[in-house]
Amino acid sequence: MYVLIAIITVLVVFPFIWMLVLSFKSNAEILSNPLALPHTLSWGNYVNALKTLDYPRLYANTFMVCVVALAIELVITFLSSFALARMVFEHPNLRRLVYGFLIAGLCVSPFILLFPVYKINIFFGLREQWALVFPYVASSISFNTLLFVGYLQALPPEIDEAAIIDGCSIWDLMVRIILPMTKPVIATVVIFNVLYMWNEYPFASVMLRRQADYTLAMGASFFKGTYTVDYGGIVASSVMIIIPELIFYGVFQKKIVGGMVAGAVKG
């Protein structure tokens, strides 16, 4: 088992280590012998990337999109999941129909919806980062619903009964009783969605027109010209984009495991 774990770890870590090594090599070295170690540790690729890209603006744009999209989708998903998991429907088939409709979005790749979403954005006049916020919200609702409903269904129904007997309204039950108990699954939803929006490229490449609105995922595209490609710049910029993501994932990885287990086990 330890040997198997070691092999899997090497396979997972090797691409990042290889990318880190390539970031210190010139374009000639990358093309001639990509698997060899660099002759000298040159920081030229990083200097070139910092000169080419406005990283503070890229980080600010990405952060704004993540925060706004997360706030909207958490409110929508929590309220809809609470209704599906904790409230009594007059027609039980209606609950299954709504839940099935929301979960069905997992079967549709958001990338095949690029052109329809682009036309919808034009119709509603959504530009700049707002052209990304609402597509990100829509594409995340299905996965978030799957986690939230599974977690809320695992909570004992006696909690709701005791709160209502004590005089809680539906709003107080949601906000003051149930919401604090959903911290593990909220943390999981936040982490997964931040990682998705941090790396998402197809929507950003189609929806964003001005360089001032670009997100981090668009940064590597600056190093590809019509007839030339700066491979060293692409790799160096990718490293600077991935390292904060790895730190974020490393700090909150226990939250991911706890939230996934909590949402998957029904008491």
Say what the pLDDT of residue 226 is.
Answer: 61
Say what the pLDDT of residue 144 is.
Answer: 92
CA angle 80, 83, 85 (to 5 degrees): 105
Ranges of the chain whose pLDDT falls below 50: 263-267
DSSP 178: I
Q: Give the pTM.
A: 0.80
The amino acid at residue 186 is I
Say what the pLDDT of residue 32 is.
Answer: 84
Supply 61's token pair.
């744009």
Say what the pLDDT of residue 267 is.
Answer: 40
Say what the pLDDT of residue 266 is.
Answer: 45
Say what the pLDDT of residue 260 is.
Answer: 54
- The CA distance from 141 to 110, in Å, is 12
Say what the pLDDT of residue 254 is.
Answer: 63
Q: What Rg value do the Cα atoms of the chain yield, rounded?
A: 23
DSSP 224: B
Closest CA to 161 of 109, 93, 88, 261: 88
Q: What ranges in the chain are assigned the alpha helix state H?
A: 2-22, 27-32, 44-52, 55-86, 92-103, 114-124, 130-154, 158-165, 170-172, 179-181, 183-199, 202-207, 231-264
